[in-house]
Amino acid sequence: MGFFQRIFRWGKSEVNSAMDSLEDPIKMTDQGIKDLESDLEKSIKALASVKASCITAKNDLEKAKQDVDDYQKKAMTFVQAAEQGKISHEEGDRLATQCLEKKSQRSRDLPQLEANYTRLQGQVSKFEDTIKTLKAQIDKWKNEAKMLKARAKVSEATANVNKQLAGIDSTDTVAMLEKMKEKVTEQEALADSYLEIAAASGSADIDNAYQALGGGVEAQSELLALKAQMAETKAISSGSAADAQTVSNAATSELDALKQEMAAQQQTASADRPMQQADQAPME
């Protein structure tokens, strides 16, 4: 128990001061708990052994008390048998005397047996108290170890976050980002160059295949068809011009006829005017 108390005091005094280097205290605490559990197992085995001895001592004490009672009863039985004439007085006294001697012997053993049983009972009680204390301490230190580990994880995570927020590792991070950016730019340029090469190769393949399939002959045929279409368009345009000339001539003829008709009307009007004046004169 003194060793366990020293461990406990050490743990209580070192927990706060060892927060910056928790790895070793955690391992030592775990090892201390394992040692306690091993001691607890040994104590349980010792308790079982002491309990067995205590049970044996109790049985011996009860057996001795029972023997004292039995020899007392036997001595009385022999005396009564002699008085009843079942055996002689001499035989009865001899047997009764032997029983009383054994009774006296067993009675002398009773104090020692009772003391042994009492001592073992005390040891059992002491071991039981020790085991209870060990179990309580182990449970307590296990909980403290869990809390210590949790605090270690939280403190480590907090330290890492604080380092990142403080920009301690920003230089390395920026450098890695710049390298990544350069790498991505190079890959994009390489992809574009492959695309241009593939496009040029595709166009050349198309032209070669077209020429192989007689693309030149087809172009000549299209040229002839274009010339024929232009000639037809020209002919249509010529016909339209002739029609326009015909329309223009017809319009001119109609204009001349209109002019002649208007001249005739003017002459008729001029011939009628003197006659009207002659008719109006006598009225004045």
Task: Provide the greatest CA pair distance for the chain.
Answer: 227
Q: What pLDDT is attached to residue 146?
A: 84
Query: Would you say residue 246 lies in a domain?
Result: no
The whole-model pTM stands at: 0.43
3-state secondary structure 136-178: HHHHHHHHHHHHHHHHHHHHHHHHHHHHHHHCCCHHHHHHHHH
Query: Would you say residue 207 lies in a domain?
Result: no
Query: Would you say residue 158 lies in a domain?
Result: yes
Instruction: From residue 284, give the alpha-carbon distance in Å to each of 1, 272, 277, 280, 281.
Output: 173, 20, 11, 7, 6
Query: Would you say residue 276 lies in a domain?
Result: no
Q: What pLDDT is attached to residue 64?
A: 93
Q: What pLDDT is attached to residue 66?
A: 94
Q: Which range among 56-60, 233-237, 271-275 shows the weakest confidence by mean pLDDT?
A: 271-275
Q: What pLDDT is attached to residue 140?
A: 87
Q: Which range among 64-68, 133-137, 210-214 shows the weakest confidence by mean pLDDT?
A: 210-214
> Where residue 79 sits, what CATH number does that domain have?
1.10.287.620
Query: Would you say residue 54 lies in a domain?
Result: yes
Q: What is the mean pLDDT of the chain?
A: 76
Query: Would you say residue 239 lies in a domain?
Result: no
Neighbours of 64 (CB within 10 A): 20
Boundaries of domain holding 56: 2-169
Q: What pLDDT is attached to residue 283?
A: 46
Residue 80's pLDDT band, with cuts at 50, 70 and 90, is very high
Query: Would you say residue 284 lies in a domain?
Result: no
28-79 pLDDT per residue, tens: 777 888 888 888 888 888 889 989 999 999 999 999 999 999 999 999 999 9
Query: Would you say residue 241 lies in a domain?
Result: no
Q: Average pLDDT in the 226-244 region?
A: 68
Contacts 24+ apart (CB under 8 A), 30-36: 30/145, 32/7, 32/141, 33/138, 33/141, 33/142, 33/145, 36/4, 36/134, 36/137, 36/138, 36/141
* Nearest-angstrom CA–CA distance, 173 and 276: 122
Q: What pLDDT is attached to residue 284?
A: 39
Give the count of domains, the chain.
1
Q: Average pLDDT in the 137-166 region?
A: 80
